[in-house]
């Protein structure tokens, strides 16, 4: 069974049914017993009254003073009967009319109790007592119809069952409501987990029912363990990448010394630059991994001019003019370092290839659109198409448009966006289109 709710409801329903049935049975048995005992005690009284009305004359003939006997014993089939037996005589109450009770004689001091069918389908409780009066042994049997009281009992049982059923119903509903409200914290935890994934939270809040707290603590513990492992591996790869750069720089200086044969030298140059590019990309991937974001947000009014100034300085020897096509007061929450890395790499590539002009366009619609166009030599259209389709792998470079775009692609992928390359219609050079989903406001 998959639903906790239906599982709990079924469990509750079954146990309540069991419980109520047992209760019903117990109460019914008890009520029956009590009713019988009550009637039995009434019978006992009547038996004693009857006994006092009995007399034996001098011929040992049984005489009853009927005036002292309850009237109910005189109405035919009233449900109250008596039979008095001696060894040779038998007196039936008038109420028995022509019916005969099936009785055995009871010895003095003995009592017999039994149920039997009476006239008109009455169900009779019969109690016989044996006495000795004036030297004569006699047994008095009094029977009373259980019908009316049984009817009451059945009535009570129906009522009891109906009450139990409606209580059952109410309890199941109440339980469902309680369950639903106590599962509410889980819904909150679910939404917290979501913001956790997006890096807006770093752990679940512990403000929840005691029963859920161990679970939350475990999740938080797991998170910190995972975070620690991630940081360790991130630090390891970032340290490795940095450490590799030092000897690589030295090797590169040695290569530049020209006392190595040219073919070997060229090979070394290629190999070292490949190692360098891989290291750089790994470094940046390591930074992206696990959203180790700095927390600062990119500002179009501050960071973009600073970036462009930086690029202008770096390409001071070229006279490249960057035109920015950005709506006024555009803003969306996006990590500053990631955005600088993304724009930096894409613009750097454009500066590298542009002859004179670059256009950067930023549009904010349902998604964030970034276009960078240059008036450089562009690239082979076929190559551009295949690249757009399968993305850029770690070990490959687009002819001329190298590492930077691969790093940019990593960032775009990390943000769940996409990046396409084409030729610019406006400037006839290379064009990069980037689409990023709009980040949710924190």
Partner 1 sequence: MRLLLAEDDHILVETLKKNLQSAGYAVDVANNGIDAEYLGNEMIYDVAVLDLGLPQRNGIDVLKNWRSSGNHLPVIVLTARNAWHERVDGFKAGADDYLGKPFHFEELTARITALLHRSSQQPGGQLNTGGIILDEELQSVITGDGKNHKLTGIEFRLLRYLLLNAGQVLSKSRLTEHVYDFDSEKDSNVIEVYIRRLRQLLGKDQIETRRGQGYVFKDTA
* Interacting residue with partner 1 among 310, 413, 418, 422 (CB under 8 A): 310
Structure tokens at 1: 């069974």
Q: By CB under 8 A, which span of 10-18, 45-53, 83-91, 308-316 interacts with partner 1? A: 308-316
* Interacting residue with partner 1 among 67, 121, 181, 253 (CB under 8 A): 253
The nearest distance, CB 302 to partner 1, in angstroms, is 10
Q: Pattern of binders to partner 1 over 335-374, x per CB under 8 A?
A: -xx--xx-xxx-----------------------------
- φ, ψ for residue 103, nearest 5 deg: -130, 155
Region 161-220 residues binding partner 1, contact defined as CB under 8 A: none
Structure tokens at 130: 């044996």
- DSSP class of residue 159 equals H
Angle at the Cα of 335 from the Cα atoms of 328 and 372, rounded to 5 degrees: 55
The nearest distance, CB 274 to partner 1, in angstroms, is 12
Angle at the Cα of 159 from the Cα atoms of 156 and 164, rounded to 5 degrees: 125
Q: Can you list the alpha helix ranges (DSSP code H) found in 289-393?
A: 303-314, 336-353, 381-390
Note whether 1 and 7 are within 8 A (CB): yes
The nearest distance, CB 324 to partner 1, in angstroms, is 16
- DSSP class of residue 302 equals T
Our CA dihedral for 362, 365, 368, 373, rounded to 10 degrees, sits at -40
The nearest distance, CB 439 to partner 1, in angstroms, is 18
- CB proximity list for 128: less than 8 A, separation 6 or greater: 103, 104, 106, 111, 112, 113, 139, 140, 141
**DSSP line for 215-273:** HHHHHHHHHHHHHHHHHHHHHHHHHHHHHHHHHHHHHHHHHTTS-S-HHHHHHHHHHHH
Q: By CB under 8 A, which span of 34-42, 112-120, 305-313, 427-435 interacts with partner 1? A: 305-313
Q: By CB under 8 A, which span of 115-123, 239-247, 364-372, 384-392 interacts with partner 1? A: 239-247
How many of the chain's residues bind partner 1 (CB under 8 A)? Answer: 34
Note whether 421 and 430 are within 8 A (CB): yes
Q: By CB under 8 A, which span of 25-33, 188-196, 246-254, 369-377 interacts with partner 1? A: 246-254
* Length of the chain counted residue by residue: 442
The nearest distance, CB 395 to partner 1, in angstroms, is 19
* Interacting residue with partner 1 among 232, 242, 367, 426 (CB under 8 A): 242
Nearest to 291 by CA among 239, 218, 226: 226
Interaction of residue 284 with partner 1, rule CB under 8 A: yes
Nearest to 388 by CA among 421, 418, 433: 421
Nearest to 55 by CA among 133, 131, 109, 132: 133
The nearest distance, CB 224 to partner 1, in angstroms, is 26
Interaction of residue 267 with partner 1, rule CB under 8 A: no
Q: By CB under 8 A, which span of 22-30, 81-89, 205-213, 307-315 interacts with partner 1? A: 307-315
* Interacting residue with partner 1 among 108, 132, 249, 266 (CB under 8 A): 249
* Interacting residue with partner 1 among 36, 70, 280, 414 (CB under 8 A): 280
* Interacting residue with partner 1 among 48, 151, 256, 327 (CB under 8 A): 256
Interaction of residue 306 with partner 1, rule CB under 8 A: yes
Q: Which is nearer to partner 1, 153 or 251 (CB)?
A: 251
Region 382-441 residues binding partner 1, contact defined as CB under 8 A: none
Q: By CB under 8 A, which span of 53-61, 190-198, 313-321, 425-433 interacts with partner 1? A: 313-321
Q: By CB under 8 A, which span of 24-32, 121-129, 259-267, 300-308 interacts with partner 1? A: 300-308
Q: By CB under 8 A, which span of 1-9, 185-193, 280-288, 387-395 interacts with partner 1? A: 280-288
Measured in whole angstroms, how far is the alpha carbon of residue 214 from the centre of its chain?
16
The nearest distance, CB 428 to partner 1, in angstroms, is 26
Region 96-135 residues binding partner 1, contact defined as CB under 8 A: none
Nearest to 436 by CA among 424, 422, 420, 425: 420
The nearest distance, CB 415 to partner 1, in angstroms, is 16
Dihedral sign of CA atoms 206, 208, 211, 212 in order: negative
Phi-psi domain of 428 (left: phi exceeds 0; alpha: psi -120 through 50; beta: other) = left
Structure tokens at 429: 């050079």
Interface with partner 1 (CB under 8 A): 242, 245-246, 248-254, 256-257, 272, 276, 280, 284, 287, 294, 303, 306-307, 309-310, 313-314, 316-317, 336-337, 340-341, 343-345
């Amino acid at each position: 069974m998959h639903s906790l709710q239906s599982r709990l409801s079924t469990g509750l329903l079954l146990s309540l049914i069991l419980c109520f049935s047992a209760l019903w049975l117990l109460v019914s048995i008890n009520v029956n017993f009590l009713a019988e005992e009550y009637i039995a005690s009434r019978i006992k009284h009547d038996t004693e009254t009857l006994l006092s009305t009995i007399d034996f004359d001098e011929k040992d003939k049984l005489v009853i003073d009927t005036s002292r006997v309850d009237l109910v014993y005189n109405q035919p089939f009233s449900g109250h009967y008596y039979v008095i037996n001696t060894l040779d005589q038998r007196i039936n109450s008038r109420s028995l009319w022509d019916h005969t009770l099936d009785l055995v004689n009871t010895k003095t001091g003995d009592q017999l109790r039994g149920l039997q069918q009476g006239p008109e389908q009455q169900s009779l409780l019969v109690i016989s007592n044996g006495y000795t009066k004036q030297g004569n042994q006699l047994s008095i049997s009094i029977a009373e119809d259980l019908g009316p009281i049984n009817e009451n009992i059945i009535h009570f049982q129906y009522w009891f069952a109906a009450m139990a059923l409606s209580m059952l119903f109410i309890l199941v509903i109440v339980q469902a409501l309680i369950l639903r409200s106590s599962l509410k914290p889980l819904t909150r935890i679910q939404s917290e987990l979501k913001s956790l994934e997006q890096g807006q939270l770093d752990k679940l809040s512990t403000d929840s029912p005691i029963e859920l707290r161990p679970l939350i603590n475990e999740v938080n513990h797991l998170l910190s363990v995972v975070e620690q492992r991630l940081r360790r591996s991130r630090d390891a790869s970032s340290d490795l990448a940095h450490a590799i750069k030092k000897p690589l720089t030295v090797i590169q200086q040695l290569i530049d010394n020209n006392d190595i044969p040219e073919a070997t030298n060229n090979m070394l140059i290629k190999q070292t630059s490949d190692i360098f590019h891989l290291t750089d990309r790994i470094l940046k991937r390591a930074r992206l991994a696990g959203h180790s974001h700095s927390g600062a947000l990119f500002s179009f009014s501050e960071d973009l001019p600073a970036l462009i100034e930086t690029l202008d300085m770096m390409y001071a020897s070229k006279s490249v003019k960057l035109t920015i096509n950005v709506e006024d007061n555009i803003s969306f929450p996006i990590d500053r370092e990631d955005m600088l890395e993304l724009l930096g790499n894409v613009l750097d590539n454009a500066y590298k290839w542009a002859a004179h002009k670059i256009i950067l366009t930023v549009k904010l619609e349902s998604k964030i659109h970034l276009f960078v166009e240059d008036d450089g030599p562009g690239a082979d259209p076929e190559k551009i198409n295949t690249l757009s389709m399968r993305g850029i792998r770690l070990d490959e470079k687009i002819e001329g448009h190298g590492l930077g775009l691969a790093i940019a692609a990593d960032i775009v992928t990390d943000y769940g966006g996409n990046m396409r390359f084409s030729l610019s219609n406006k400037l006839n050079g290379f064009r990069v289109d980037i689409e990023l989903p709009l980040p949710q406001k924190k």
